[in-house]
Amino acid sequence: MTRVYNFSAGPAMLPEEVLRQAQAEMLDWHGSGMSVMEMSHRGKEFMSIAEKAEADLRELMAIPTNYKVLFLQGGASAQFAMIPMNLIGRTGEADYFRTGSWSKKAISEAKHFGGVKVTVDSEHDGRFTSVPAADGFAVSSDAAYVHYTPNETIEGVEFPYVPATGAVPLIADMSSTILSRPVDVSKFGLIYAGAQKNIGPAGLTIVIVREDLIGEPLDGTPTMFKYATHADNGSMYNTPPTYGWYLAGLVFEWLKSIGGLAGMAAVNERKASALYRAIDASGFYNNPVDPVCRSWMNVPFTLANPELDGDFLKGAGEAGLKTLKGHRSVGGMRASIYNAMPEQGVETLIQFMAEFERTRG
Amino acid sequence: MTRVYNFSAGPAMLPEEVLRQAQAEMLDWHGSGMSVMEMSHRGKEFMSIAEKAEADLRELMAIPTNYKVLFLQGGASAQFAMIPMNLIGRTGEADYFRTGSWSKKAISEAKHFGGVKVTVDSEHDGRFTSVPAADGFAVSSDAAYVHYTPNETIEGVEFPYVPATGAVPLIADMSSTILSRPVDVSKFGLIYAGAQKNIGPAGLTIVIVREDLIGEPLDGTPTMFKYATHADNGSMYNTPPTYGWYLAGLVFEWLKSIGGLAGMAAVNERKASALYRAIDASGFYNNPVDPVCRSWMNVPFTLANPELDGDFLKGAGEAGLKTLKGHRSVGGMRASIYNAMPEQGVETLIQFMAEFERTRG
């Protein structure tokens, strides 16, 4: 068996240790005689898995006790509606930052449920390559919340700071950056993330929400789209995605074993720095993003000659470097180097890039 | 390793062959060097898994070509809202059969989105133990659809026929009976099922919908709650629950290997008959359901002396017979004997019941 380095933007690599443990436990979890997939979500075995996962996540992120942690379904796309349906009612208006493809989707969906004021728009010449300075935006006095996307997965643009929004709750789509480094949860009203990048398998969505914000949803909100439904029932109003929850718990244990989010951040910083350094040192590769807001997680880059893109991808694939094709809206390449991408994977990519440039550039 | 017989109502047992294959492929699917969990949902590897699963399900159920098969999230509870949000608009009214706990939940949710006429109500003395005769209900002329629950998981009540609703589309929550026997899909407008009983792991929901019914949803329907969103994008508008989709595909292959739904039905009929025969032959155990509509999948039963319930559960557990406690609303015991419960599991339960009655009854 040869494992590859998979640079997919998501679903993405999982730590090999996690997969090996899931494999070993597949038919019999801890002597229960059952796969985790087969367990009643209300049984004592799965309850212990669920509680341990939440406790470990709370420890890793130092989540204050006045926040609920919800284990939901539907991905960030479901949150794009759940957030306004649950939170915009207080004033009927919300501020949104428009900094790339995913924040555009969040804005588009929110408009169905209330007034959306785009208080940051970083598009220039059809591209998103920057974020405003930390004091470069205003907060509307009548905003029920401010929504932003700390890391834009497609464009590779990441905020180097947490926006200060005063008394107005800050909401963050952390799908592609959660758990990549320590973050002060108390600065946020709500954090959400699809699991399939840094948490576990697709089909699980984690929401961390300050309890006072779990309020009155708009009329017509489906029961399953009310945060209160899930907060009041320990995320077990109906059957949760149990296997994803279990896998997430294994990932949290792995993160603790490597030094928590500070340890993870050190690795991620090394991986990203090495790759950007290689790109910047080359005349052949280019990353268009303002260096102050380059993503640690998603590194788009182009070749000086786009006609070589196909050969690059073919050669990379043969070298065990998979899923490097950039998003069609940006073109070129994209290396997503989430938590589970080993440093050796980034080193191998850098070596391949240098060799490709030497022979074909 | 000792595997147990797990009679959970869901999540429930999976075929051991399926778990063994998932275990073998956990770190490297078909030489790809990736776990299925790690694959981009848009990559050729996962696309082949997804397409094969859908094709196998279409073959197993003989799904006509004018039906879409959707692989969604959120469970039946999400469908309780999606169905009226998408389908009730044509007339603003729908008929619902009230035959147990799950149809009650469907009714409760639908009322938020339109007029609900309960055309069947089988509750007597606070219990649900029967269904109407095949000609024992009317269809409202202004109903956008008729909704029913072919198998009530909690009460163990199953329709022995498919209700004839004429030109009004019939909608069925098949969560706990799908794939247990052949069914004529063309009699239905929409079939839905959470995966965690007869399909695969929790977190996947399958919807089979006639194309002409994918119409205009109500205003305010979230994008993720519109059937058209998923039908128009091959269930990949956003990242689907890829691992559950893969597991479902393995279950479909297993069903084909044992003779498809006709083969499965023969096994299920034997399992259910043997268990009901044992209950009826005993003066100690009792099942309250009208014999014409006893469920093949969920068999509730009580002990003549409820004070022995705890001892029964303890002894059963020690014999490797797990999760037999009945739902709190019904009491007593419940043996859920879905597709993946081996015949030997039911035989072992019957032997344990006889021995318990002999020594303690």
Residues 6+ apart with CB under 8 A from A48: none
Q: Is residue B330 predicted with pLDDT exceeding 90?
A: no
Residue of A nearest to B325 (CA): A43
Count: domains in chain B = 2
pLDDT at res. A239: 98
Strand B190-194 to B170-173 pairing: parallel
Q: Within its chain, how far is the Cα of A142 from the centroid?
A: 29
pLDDT, greater one: A328 or A102 = A102
Mean pLDDT across A342-357:
98
Q: Judge if B233 and B272 occupy the same domain.
A: no
Distance from CA of A353 to the nearest CA of B (A): 21
Q: What are phi and psi of B304, to 5 degrees?
A: -60, -30
CB contact (8 A) between residue B2 and residue A82: no
**What digits encode the pLDDT tens for the residues A19-56?**
999 999 999 999 999 999 999 999 999 999 999 999 99
Q: Judge if B222 and B277 occupy the same domain.
A: no
Task: Provide the percentage of residues in chain A whose pLDDT is more than 90.
Answer: 98
Residue of B nearest to A25 (CA): B23
Residue of B237, B170, B241, B238 whose CA lies nearest to B209: B170
> Which positions in chain B touch A227 (Cβ < 8 Å)?
none
Mean pLDDT across A321-338:
94
Q: Is A254 a catalytic residue?
A: no
Residue of A204, A193, A203 whose CA lies nearest to A338: A193
Q: Is B1 inside any structural domain?
A: no
What is the spatial distance between Cα B180 and Cα B268, in angstroms, rounded to a whole number?
7
Q: Is B147 inside any structural domain?
A: yes
Residue of A nearest to B45 (CA): A323
Q: Is A84 inside any structural domain?
A: yes
Strand A205-210 to A67-72 pairing: antiparallel
Mean pLDDT across A89-100:
97
- DSSP for A165-200? -TTSPEEEE-TTTTTSS---GGG-SEEEEETTTTTS
Q: Is B43 inside any structural domain?
A: yes
CB contact (8 A) between residue B202 and residue A241: yes
Q: Is A345 inside any structural domain?
A: yes
Task: Provide the percentage of residues in chain B whose pLDDT is more than 70.
Answer: 100
Q: Judge if B171 and B315 occupy the same domain.
A: no
CB contact (8 A) between residue A73 and residue B203: yes
CB contact (8 A) between residue A26 and residue B19: yes
Instruction: Report the largest interatomic distance among the alpha carbons of chain B, rounded to a whole angstrom.
Output: 63
- Residue ending a domain, among B239, B257, B275, is B257
Q: Which of A56, A104, A173, A325 is catalytic?
A: A173
Q: Is B142 inside any structural domain?
A: yes
Residue of B213, B230, B220 whose CA lies nearest to B94: B213
Domain containing residue A77: 17-257
Q: Judge if A157 and A238 occupy the same domain.
A: yes
Q: Is residue A1 predicted with pLDDT exceeding 90?
A: no
Quick check: helix, strand or coil at residue A312? helix
Q: Judge if B198 and B291 occupy the same domain.
A: no
Query: How deeply is B307 buried, as exposed, middle or buried, from its count of CB atoms within 10 A (0-12, 13-18, 19+)?
Result: exposed
Q: Judge if B188 and B282 occupy the same domain.
A: no
**What digits encode the pLDDT tens for the residues B280-324?**
999 999 999 999 999 999 999 999 999 999 999 999 999 999 999
Whether residue B11 is preceded by a cis peptide bond, meaning omega within 30 degrees of 0, is yes
Q: What token pair was written down for B129?
A: 């133990």
**Taking a C-beta distance cutoff of 8 angstroms, is the pair B280, B148 a contact?**
no
Q: Is A173 a catalytic residue?
A: yes
pLDDT at res. A207: 98
Q: What are phi and psi of A187, to 5 degrees?
A: -80, -10
Tokens 């009004």 found at: B168
Per-residue H/E/C for A36-101: HHHCCCCCHHHHHHHHHHHHHHHHHHCCCCCEEEEEECCHHHHHHHHHHHHHHHHCCEEEEEECCH
pLDDT at res. A361: 83
- Residue ending a domain, among A200, A222, A257, is A257
Mean pLDDT across B181-188:
98
Residue of A162, A138, A139 whose CA lies nearest to A150: A162
Q: Is residue A227 predicted with pLDDT exceeding 70?
A: yes
Residues 6+ apart with CB under 8 A from B297: B151, B153, B158, B176, B177, B180, B197, B198, B268, B272, B336, B337, B338
What is the spatial distance between Cα A31 and Cα A281, in angstroms, rounded to a whole number?
54
Q: Judge if A328 and A222 occupy the same domain.
A: no
Of A1, A19, A241, Cβ closest to residue B203: A241
Q: Judge if A58 and A184 occupy the same domain.
A: yes
Mean pLDDT across A119-145:
96
Distance from CA of B134 to the nearest CA of A (A): 31
What is the spatial distance between Cα B55 and Cα B71, in angstroms, rounded to a whole number?
13
Question: How many interface pairs between A and B have CB atoms less than 8 angstroms apart?
Answer: 223
Interface test with A, best of B17, B29, B35, B176 (most A CBs within 10 A): B35
> Which positions in chain B touch A80 (Cβ < 8 Å)?
223-224
Query: What's B140's DSSP letter?
Result: -
Interface test with B, best of A73, A245, A338 (most B CBs within 10 A): A73
Q: Judge if B181 and B325 occupy the same domain.
A: no
Q: Judge if B198 and B266 occupy the same domain.
A: no
What is the spatial distance between Cα A314 and Cα A330, in angstroms, rounded to a whole number?
19
Q: Which of B68, B197, B226, B325 is catalytic?
A: B197
Q: Judge if B269 and B250 occupy the same domain.
A: no
Interface test with B, best of A14, A23, A224, A339 (most B CBs within 10 A): A224
Q: Is residue A194 predicted with pLDDT exceeding 70?
A: yes
pTM here?
Answer: 0.98
Confidence of residue B1 (pLDDT cuts 50, 70, 90): low
Residue of B nearest to A40 (CA): B11
Distance from CA of A250 to the nearest CA of B (A): 14
Q: What share of chain A is helix, strand, coil (3-state, %, to 5)?
A: 40, 15, 45
Q: Is A56 inside any structural domain?
A: yes
- Residue ending a domain, among A228, A257, A286, is A257
CB contact (8 A) between residue A239 and residue B323: no
> Which positions in chain B touch A239 (Cβ < 8 Å)?
10-11, 75, 194, 196, 202
Confidence of residue B359 (pLDDT cuts 50, 70, 90): very high
CB contact (8 A) between residue B202 and residue A242: yes
- DSSP for B293-314? GB-SSEEEEEESSGGGHHHHHH
Residue of A nearest to B25 (CA): A23
Confidence of residue A260 (pLDDT cuts 50, 70, 90): very high
Q: Is B173 a catalytic residue?
A: yes
Q: Which of B29, B68, B173, B271 is catalytic?
A: B173
Interface test with B, best of A25, A35, A102, A197 (most B CBs within 10 A): A35
Q: What is the ipTM, given to two decimal places?
A: 0.97
What is the spatial distance between Cα A306 and Cα B46, in angstroms, rounded to a whole number?
27
CATH number for position A304: 3.90.1150.10
CB contact (8 A) between residue B203 and residue A12: no
pLDDT at res. A329: 85
CATH number for position A48: 3.40.640.10
Q: Judge if B273 and B252 occupy the same domain.
A: no
> Which positions in chain A touch B218 (Cβ < 8 Å)?
220
Mean pLDDT across A108-137:
97
CB contact (8 A) between residue A244 and residue B243: yes
pLDDT at res. A215: 79
**What digits encode the pLDDT tens for the residues B86-144?**
999 999 999 999 999 999 999 999 999 999 999 999 999 999 999 999 999 999 999 99
Tokens 């040192």 found at: A281
What is the spatial distance between Cα B213 and Cα B227, in angstroms, rounded to a whole number?
9
Sign of CA dihedral A265, A266, A267, A273: positive
Residues 6+ apart with CB under 8 A from B203: A73, A203, A204, A240, A241, A242, A243, A244, B73, B195, B196, B241, B244
Q: Is residue A181 predicted with pLDDT exceeding 80?
A: yes
Q: What token pair was written down for B59?
A: 């073959």
Mean pLDDT across A165-189:
98
What is the spatial distance between Cα A300 and Cα B241, in angstroms, rounded to a whole number?
26
Q: Is B9 inside any structural domain?
A: no
